Structure 1
């Protein structure tokens, strides 16, 4: 890379969950910084719209494209990552952003199947992207992998079910992989976003007492934007962070300094006050 070249102009990048939200913001940043970018997700319409956005910002010479893939399906992940690595540049920048939660509510009422689905999506899905992308990065002589974790991995979020638990698993996976892959020049991190303005949490960010509580717990006094997370991801995969690995980094406006949010105003009308403290009718 010369001073005039974009920092990722010699790299290929892969982003799971790249059709919207934080994943799309990361992909946009990587494309603008010169990478060949492949985004993956389950919705082809959303991915097609994402590629149109990527084409509008991509640096000259940067290729963008998408692959429909479910991160819980290993063969689909393998094929998607292989596609990203086949575009004439080494795969050196990977973000695992696909994730979600289907277990909001009291732990004594959690749906076990949905618990397993959430753990599979968040932990196993991240592991599969790491497993198959790290193979390419090792062969290429190095690279960087960033998993999107959550503030909920370290600060308890009552009634979040499997979400925080699975994000904590991602944080440990990152540290384990960083230790194993460091000798091959592969750096591995996670980012722990706080409340970020995405479709997944629009019931909070649109306003109300839960948003007020988030802001009261956030020293910087605002919610995050996807670009806030993308900026950190770009630093972690770029040439200025080559002596960093194994980090679980909070990007939350300082929210981790206080406490987890209070979702009682949203959940008490659904479950009742007794259920929120674990009471279950026989």
Structure 2
């Protein structure tokens, strides 16, 4: 792959950890000027310092913003654009989940917060970022979705639902923005080794279920996702738009995971099929569980 990202300005939301950090690292290695977005200033600045100390000729800049707040997204886009005078690429990676468990016991407020983060935050990022790409004559947007969008993950709450929304947003934006030479594509990672999925990878029964459901029987690495993001941002993919590509070891060919070993002790077998006790209406919130 050529160094087609050298000197390009790229905005990466969720760049302070996991897949977003891995994408930012590869872009920096290939010479891009990368602005990473996140809510935690100390962590974000530490990641920028770490990546700038690496071998790449590019540079990484930290910008603190909450992508669920539209004005903060607009300011982040302006900051990224101001570094080189233009914006060439966007990676909408920030996301997560605050809901887990049977839909009949869902924590409604946690559901709303997950929708706000995954779907509204991605829309704000594309809305404001695309304006700069249009002004600059074109560019590429990559949204990070999930295998939970293509294969149902029972008891996984709002996460897969919102990622399905991201997939449709990718198609809609690609259709609308193609006339301005803007490409919009998505990536659906499978189970990828990040700190957010430690609860899954450390559970023997669940890890084994993922293994037997995946033709390439291993957990994904952030580099697996970053490589495709680099391709979709670069000059090698200028005839590709509106695509959402699974990077999941082939798991989409089989089925989503079986979380019953983890959740049955919490909800009981009856609870997992939707039975709700008369005095149980609160729901369960679980932060940071996402493939």
Q: Same fold (TM over 0.5)?
A: yes
CA contact (8 A) 1:122 1:166 kept: yes
CA contact (8 A) 1:12 1:90 kept: yes
Q: CA RMSD in A?
A: 1.2
Q: Tell me, which stretches of 5 or more residues in structure 2 are unaligned?
A: 279-291
2:273 matched to 1:269?
Answer: no
Q: CA offset at residue 200 of structure 1?
A: 1.0
Q: CA offset at residue 204 of structure 1?
A: 1.1
Instruction: Output the CA distance in 2 between the equivalents of 1:39 and 1:10.
Output: 16
Counterpart in the other structure of 1:44: 41
TM-score relative to the length of structure 2: 0.93
2:192 matched to 1:196?
Answer: yes
Instruction: Output the CA distance in 1 between the equivalents of 2:160 and 2:113.
Output: 14
Instruction: Output the CA distance in 1 between the equivalents of 2:29 and 2:203.
Output: 32
Instruction: Output the CA distance in 1 between the equivalents of 2:42 and 2:215.
Output: 38
Instruction: Output the CA distance in 2 between the equivalents of 1:58 and 1:70.
Output: 29
Counterpart in the other structure of 1:28: 25
Q: CA offset at residue 52 of structure 1?
A: 1.7
Instruction: Output the CA distance in 2 between the equivalents of 1:259 and 1:175.
Output: 24
Instruction: Output the CA distance in 2 between the equivalents of 1:168 and 1:43.
Output: 27
> Which one of the candidate residues 233, 244, 248 is aligned to 1:252?
248
CA contact (8 A) 1:28 1:58 kept: no
Instruction: Output the CA distance in 1 between the equivalents of 2:42 and 2:204.
Output: 32
CA contact (8 A) 1:41 1:68 kept: yes
> Which one of the candidate residues 205, 211, 214 is aligned to 2:210?
214
Instruction: Output the CA distance in 2 between the equivalents of 1:53 and 1:93.
Output: 22
SS in 1 for 2:104: helix
SS in 2 for 1:64: strand
Write the deviation string for residues 63-89 of structure 1: whole angstroms up to 9, x where unpaired: 321111000000111111110111125
Find runs of 4+ consecutive structure 1 residues off by over 6 angstroms.
none
Q: Tell me, which stretches of 5 or more residues in structure 1 are unaligned?
A: none
CA contact (8 A) 1:17 1:41 kept: yes
Instruction: Output the CA distance in 1 between the equivalents of 2:96 and 2:36.
Output: 17
Instruction: Output the CA distance in 2 between the equivalents of 1:107 and 1:74.
Output: 29
Instruction: Output the CA distance in 2 between the equivalents of 1:90 and 1:239.
Output: 17
Instruction: Output the CA distance in 2 between the equivalents of 1:89 and 1:54.
Output: 22
Q: CA offset at residue 58 of structure 1?
A: 5.6
Counterpart in the other structure of 1:18: 15
TM-score relative to the length of structure 1: 0.96
Counterpart in the other structure of 2:174: 178
Aligned ranges 1:1-282 → 2 under 5 Å: 6-57=3-54, 59-60=56-57, 62-282=58-278
**How many residue pairs align between the two structures?**
278
Q: CA offset at residue 44 of structure 1?
A: 1.1
Which structure has more relative contact order (CA 8 Å, sep 6+)? It is 2
Instruction: Output the CA distance in 2 between the equivalents of 1:111 and 1:194.
Output: 25
SS in 1 for 2:82: coil
Distance 1:46 1:273, change over 3 A: same
CA contact (8 A) 2:209 2:257 kept: yes
